[in-house]
A = this chain, B = another copy of it.
Amino acid sequence: MKKFPIVKSRRLRSTPYTDRIEAHGVSSYTVYNHMLLPASFKSLESDYHHLKEFVQVWDVAAERQVEITGKDSAKLVQLMTCRDLSKSKIGRCYYSPLVDQEGLLVNDPIINKLAEDRWWISIADSDVIFFAKGIASGNKFEVEIKEPNVNILAVQGPLAENLMAKLFGEEIRDLKFFNFKYFNYKEHKYFIARSGWSKQGGFEVYVEDDIAGQDLYDYLFEFGKEFNIRPGCPNLIERIESALLSYGNDFDNRDNPFEANFDKFVNLDSDVNFLGKEKLKKIQQDGITRKLMGVKIDSNKIDMYCEKTLFDDKNNIVGYVRSATYSPTFKKVIGIAMINKPYWNSKDQFKIDIDERIFVGTVCDLPFI
């Protein structure tokens, strides 16, 4: 696939770390929430192997926050997600599909509860701020909605905890998964969550002060030498192997949460009020006719820039692959695909056209095993 340079502009915002990651050898970008997000450094495979063994610092400022504060903030946040947040606790992170009045997905953010009346919705790639503003206006909610200047640095990989303990002290080891707390280093205070867009363990630092973030970036590399630290970014191979879904790639506003396997985050039996609740009840009752599953394809290469159709022997449509990559672990192409119901339990093979050659593959459950 031919490569094309991206033209930077204010509209595709740089981050406080852009100068640093470019000095550190970022080799490609994607755009996420109108912001530059690094897509590779040495190479996808080299970054992947390193991430699974050592520790990386990621510029994920593109994970923007929608801050919702005020008297009706809890009501507004609940209205946006099908996950029951009525028992949510301050200091916790909640992975929460956002759903519209049609029961269709809008985003799959982490919702951070900072106070009973203060929330940060840490979003995937869609403008949740306008969804929130629209709902708030129609309901005449007393809330303030804004995008604060928060630019996340993620520290990911099996050695992340050791590195973070060197900077922030041993107590950071006690921070539980999907919990957050403030920690100090030198003159700065940092909001740190145990979370991140990999399954290799690690932390996300929600940086509220650009200088504090740039300092932290430099400290991490200084202290990280002994852990073989490298710059990195959400890695396509690792995230597909780990079945971490991506809004816009694997699902979008044409899909409902059941189709995206979010069943355990759809709390229809609770008495909380959220958009699309009645639609989702009906969808659950009728049953879905397609859902996201894994696929393994006997190929060593695939370029994805739109969904690709899967066919059975009789040329009936099996489904559509939406994300895929060569996996060095499975020694095949693996991908995430929307699969039609007749093929959910199929051990049959499907056919797929990659660069005008036909390859065969099989459907499998997620996560890949």
Using a CB–CB distance below 8 Å, which chain A residues touch chain B? 1-14, 18, 22, 26-31, 34, 39-40, 100-101, 106, 125-140, 147, 246-249, 253, 275, 303-307, 322-323
A137 touching B100 in the complex, CB below 8 Å, given contacts A5-B5, A304-B10:
yes
Given A106-B130, A147-B253, 17 additional A-B pairs, CB 8 A: A4-B26, A7-B29, A7-B30, A8-B304, A8-B305, A9-B30, A9-B249, A10-B322, A11-B30, A101-B133, A126-B130, A129-B253, A130-B130, A131-B133, A132-B134, A135-B135, A137-B138
- In angstroms, how far is the closest chain B Cβ from the Cβ of A338? 11
Chain B residues with CB under 8 A of A13: 306
Chain B residues with CB under 8 A of A136: 101, 134, 138
- On whether the beta carbons of B100 and A133 are closer than 8 Å, the reply is yes
- On whether the beta carbons of A249 and B127 are closer than 8 Å, the reply is no
- On whether the beta carbons of A275 and B10 are closer than 8 Å, the reply is no
- On whether the beta carbons of A4 and B28 are closer than 8 Å, the reply is yes
- On whether the beta carbons of A305 and B14 are closer than 8 Å, the reply is yes
Select which of B2, B12, B130 is within 8 A of A131 by beta carbon: B130
Chain B residues with CB under 8 A of A125: 11, 34
Select which of B18, B22, B28, B275 is within 8 A of A137 by beta carbon: B275
Chain B residues with CB under 8 A of A9: 30, 248-249, 304-305, 323
- In angstroms, how far is the closest chain B Cβ from the Cβ of A137? 5
Chain B: CB-nearest residue to A131:
B130
Q: Would you list 19 pairs from A and B whose C-beta atoms are within 8 A, ordered by A residue?
A: A1-B8, A2-B22, A4-B6, A7-B39, A8-B304, A9-B248, A9-B249, A10-B249, A10-B304, A10-B307, A10-B323, A12-B31, A34-B126, A101-B137, A131-B133, A134-B134, A135-B135, A136-B138, A147-B253
- In angstroms, how far is the closest chain B Cβ from the Cβ of A261? 18
Chain B residues with CB under 8 A of A137: 100-101, 134-135, 138, 275
Chain B residues with CB under 8 A of A101: 133, 136-137
- In angstroms, how far is the closest chain B Cβ from the Cβ of A133? 5
- In angstroms, how far is the closest chain B Cβ from the Cβ of A301? 15
- On whether the beta carbons of A134 and B138 are closer than 8 Å, the reply is yes
Chain B residues with CB under 8 A of A304: 8-10
- On whether the beta carbons of A31 and B31 are closer than 8 Å, the reply is yes
- In angstroms, how far is the closest chain B Cβ from the Cβ of A207? 17
Pairs A-B, 6 closest by C-beta atoms: A138-B138, A134-B134, A11-B248, A127-B127, A130-B131, A3-B5
- In angstroms, how far is the closest chain B Cβ from the Cβ of A100? 5
- In angstroms, how far is the closest chain B Cβ from the Cβ of A136? 7
- In angstroms, how far is the closest chain B Cβ from the Cβ of A213? 15
Q: In the bound complex, how far is the Cα of B31 from the Cα of A12, in angstroms?
A: 8
Q: In the bound complex, how far is the Cα of B99 from the Cα of A164, in angstroms?
A: 43
- On whether the beta carbons of B8 and A6 are closer than 8 Å, the reply is no
- On whether the beta carbons of A8 and B303 are closer than 8 Å, the reply is yes
Q: In the bound complex, how far is the Cα of B275 from the Cα of A26, in angstroms?
A: 42
Chain B residues with CB under 8 A of A130: 100, 106, 126-128, 130-131, 134
Q: In the bound complex, how far is the Cα of B18 from the Cα of A106, in angstroms?
A: 26
- On whether the beta carbons of B2 and A29 are closer than 8 Å, the reply is no
- On whether the beta carbons of A11 and B135 are closer than 8 Å, the reply is no
Most buried by B among A26, A133, A246, A323: A133
